Amino acid sequence: MQVVKKKPQLNNYVLITLDSCRYDAFIKAKPKTMRKLGKVEQRWSYATWTAPSHYNLLMGLMPHTSPANVYASEYYKKDFVRFNERLGTDNIEFKSLIPKMYLPFFLRDTMGYRTNAMVSLPVLNPKTLINSGFDNYKLMDRHNDMRAMVREMTFPEDKPSFYVLNVGETHYPYALPDEPPDQWPRISGVHGIFKHLDDHIVGGKLLVQKEKHFDRAKLRTLRDRQIDAVKYLDRVVEELLDKVPKNTYITITADHGELFGEDGFFGHGPVQHSKVFEVPFVEGKVR
Ligand SMILES: [Zn+2]
């Protein structure tokens, strides 16, 4: 592994994935606090569901901007040097990650970070290969409680901290922590595969044609629930901003989008549709 010269004061770095959050749901929610971090960009995820998308993110490849007439290799290089701004250094390039090509190892072993992950979706549980190079890695007790994550975060001064927070309020059924599970919405013919919230196979052309009108109304409700989840999370992010030290850089994005009935699709995963790739992206240093 290439040795990168360290600067004395590196930023803490917090990478947040709002699971399944579509770009347009984020925009409709008008999240005041999250927008303070920087310009909200429309980006595209590299994958349509949780596990490959997080693997990709942890290789240091954020959702992309999809520029025309640019070689992929040039794009990777250019996008990756943004890590210098995120971490507060100036000598990181994509090849700095060779040979493991995995951000947690690079941050821990080369840059001296304490590496932490708190995840909401069981498909990212601590026994999976995603958990490599982390000092601390936790599957949260509940799939939809970002506030519990914020409460558990600590920033000891001996080392800079890296956190990955996989947030589940924006994942189906878009439930906030104070909503009793027996009041969560159910989609006819769909909820069975969600029952463990394991995010294995969560998409496809699953709408029940006989109940078209009923389902359309329900899908609108579900889309509105995701928007409401973003509004709620904006308040939790405010608590996060109050908690983190000043030298902290935060990236907020999503691992993939979600379909709410467009062209007959619902969910994400085995879905080939532009909406499943559209994600919000906003980042900046906490002031
Ligand atoms: Zn996901």
The predicted structure's pLDDT at residue 203: 60
Residue 21 CA to ligand 1 center (angstroms) comes to 8
Both tokens assigned to 146: 């970002």
Residue 109 CA to ligand 1 center (angstroms) comes to 28
Q: Which of 179, 175, 165, 178 is nearest to 240 (CA)?
A: 165
Write down the pTM of the prediction: 0.92
Residue 90 CA to ligand 1 center (angstroms) comes to 32
The predicted structure's pLDDT at residue 190: 55
Residue 20 CA to ligand 1 center (angstroms) comes to 5
- For residues 32-55, give the mean pLDDT: 97
Residue 10 has pLDDT above 80, yes or no: yes
CB atoms within 10 A of CB 205: 12
pLDDT band for 244, please (50, 70, 90 cuts). very high
Among the residue ranges 1-5, 129-133, 262-266, the one predicted with the least confidence is: 1-5
Residue 124 CA to ligand 1 center (angstroms) comes to 9
Residue 128 buriedness (CB in 10 A; 0-12 / 13-18 / 19+) = middle
Q: Which of 266, 258, 257 is nearest to 204 (CA)?
A: 266
Q: Which of 7-16, 129-138, 266-275 has the highest mean pLDDT?
A: 129-138
Residue 263 CA to ligand 1 center (angstroms) comes to 21
Residue 137 CA to ligand 1 center (angstroms) comes to 17
pLDDT band for 8, please (50, 70, 90 cuts). low
Residue 237 CA to ligand 1 center (angstroms) comes to 19
CB 278 within 8 A of CB 253: no
Residue 265 has pLDDT above 50, yes or no: yes
Quick: pLDDT tens for 152-197: 999 999 999 999 999 999 999 999 999 998 888 877 555 544 444 4
* Distance between CA atoms of residues 33 and 49, nearest Å: 27
pLDDT band for 3, please (50, 70, 90 cuts). low
CB 213 within 8 A of CB 241: no
The predicted structure's pLDDT at residue 72: 92
